[in-house]
């Protein structure tokens, strides 16, 4: 199946700094990618839909100025958590569609810890 | 997208079949049933999907009732590595459609 890769897999940062997470489709082109956030013992919460070459679409309650999404190429979407605070500590997961059957493939996730 | 209802948790003995139910009584005619699972601290893994016919692949079988209001995911010979959270999702299988996750079922496979 298609492979979606995230980097870094984990990151620790100080409060007030910004952190960038990359999501790559390794063997296919993805015009649309999705970003999720997951807190401990909870389900995945969709944050935004990332569209190549255009602005991302954010879910209700997600601050677009806080979570900057850039989808500059058909294989790369980035999520930047700006001015991170401890409450932003979470597991961030991206996903993208494979090119044929409508299956949605997920990255390995990136665990962010803000001190 | 239609909502789904799953039991919060289930136990299964290693080597036995694990049958995970899902209710989706408001499913529309063009919505597929998808199953994903998430092992701790990993991204979700696609398992199987179907529209109305039963489906089988190397991982599992999907049984969908004739009225499509419910389905069952079957892991034929559960192993300890199948311990995970299993998500049943219904959605239109159109490229670009977002996937919204419910609470899922925690499956614990025990030796």
Q: For the CA atoms of A62, A66, A72, A74, what is the dihedral angle to 10 degrees?
A: -40
pLDDT tens digits, one per residue of B39-64: 988 999 999 999 999 999 999 999 99
Contact predicate A30/A97, CB 8 Å:
yes
**Looking at residue B96, what is its pLDDT?**
66
Return the pLDDT at A30: 86
Tokens of A32: 């649309």
- Residue A102 is predicted with a pLDDT of 64
Structure confidence at residue B13 (pLDDT) = 97
In chain B, what residues touch A105 (CB-CB under 8 Å)?
Answer: 46
Q: Report CB contact under 8 Å: A34, B99.
A: yes
Q: Per-residue pLDDT tens for A7-44?
A: 999 999 999 999 999 999 998 888 889 999 999 989 99
Q: What is the pLDDT of residue B2?
A: 61
* Residues whose CB falls within 8 Å of the CB of residue A50, separated by 6 or more in sequence, listed in order: A32, A33, A34, A35, A56, A69, A70, A71, A77, A94
Asked if A29 reaches chain B (Cβ–Cβ under 8 Å), the answer is no
The Cβ of residue B73 has, within 10 Å, a number of other Cβ atoms equal to: 25
For residue A35, what are its two tokens?
């970003």
From start to end of chain A, where are the E strands? 4-7, 10-13, 19-25, 32-38, 45-51, 57-58, 67-73, 76-81, 90-97, 104-106, 110-114
Answer whether A79's CB lies under 8 Å from A23's CB. yes
For A86, the 3-state DSSP assignment is helix
C-beta atoms of A43 and B45 within 8 A: no
Tell me the pLDDT tens digit for each residue of B71-91: 999 999 999 999 999 999 988
CA distance A20 to chain B (A): 18
Tell me whether residues B41 and A91 touch, CB distance under 8 A. yes
Query: Token pair for residue B66?
Result: 């004739």
């Amino acid at each position: 199946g298609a492979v979606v890769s995230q980097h870094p897999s984990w990151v620790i940062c100080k409060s007030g700094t910004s952190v960038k997470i990359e999501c790559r489709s390794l063997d296919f082109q993805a015009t649309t990618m999705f970003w999720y956030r997951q807190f401990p013992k909870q389900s995945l919460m969709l944050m935004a839909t990332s569209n190549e070459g255009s602005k991302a679409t954010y879910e209700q309650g997600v601050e677009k100025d806080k979570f900057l999404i850039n989808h500059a190429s058909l294989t790369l979407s980035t999520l930047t958590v700006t001015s991170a605070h401890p409450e932003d500590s979470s597991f961030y997961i991206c996903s993208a569609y494979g090119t044929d059957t409508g299956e949605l493939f997920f990255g390995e996730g990136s665990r962010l810890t803000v001190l | 997208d239609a909502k789904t209802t799953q039991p919060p948790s289930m136990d299964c003995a290693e080597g036995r079949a694990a049958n995970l139910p899902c209710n989706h009584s408001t499913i529309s005619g063009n919505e597929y049933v998808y199953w994903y699972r998430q092992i701790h601290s990993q991204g979700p893994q696609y398992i199987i999907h179907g529209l109305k016919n039963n489906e089988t692949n190397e991982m599992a079988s999907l049984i969908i009732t004739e009225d499509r209001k419910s389905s069952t995911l079957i892991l034929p010979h559960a192993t300890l590595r199948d311990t995970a959270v299993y998500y049943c999702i219904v959605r239109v299988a159109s490229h670009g459609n977002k996937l919204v996750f419910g609470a899922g079922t925690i499956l614990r496979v025990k030796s």
